[in-house]
Amino acid sequence: MPFVLSVACTHMKMSPAEAIVAATYNGACALRLQGTKGSLEPGKDADIAIFEATDYRELAYWFAVNRCHETLLKGVRYSAHLAAG
């Protein structure tokens, strides 16, 4: 997914914010899941990816590296990044 964000920014002239919305909320809309997925709002599932980044714009920059540190599915910790070595 970071590669897709990078391509959206570099080739489609989208801002990082636009690319992230397209990948999250608009993706949920395409699947008709916008009532429960795609954004962080009261009443929606807390499906969250936490990235090792100081700024959201880095998500499109580090496209060849998995920067996802932790994920939550419906608010429950699902996985954590295991550091190599």
Phi-psi region of 42 (alpha: psi -120 to 50; beta: other; left: phi over 0): beta
Per residue, the 3-state secondary structure of 31-60, as one string, reads CCCCCCCCCCCCCCCCCEEEECCCCCCHHH
Is position 6 within any domain?
yes
Residue 71: which domain range? 2-80
The model's pTM is: 0.79
Q: Give residue-wise pLDDT tens across range 4-13.
A: 999 999 999 9
- Distance CA(30)–CA(71), nearest Å, equals 22
Q: Is 62 part of any domain?
A: yes
Q: Tell me whether residue 85 is in a domain.
A: no
pLDDT digits (tens, 9 = 90+) for 30-41: 999 999 999 999
Mean pLDDT within 38-52: 92
Per the structure, how many domains does the chain have?
1
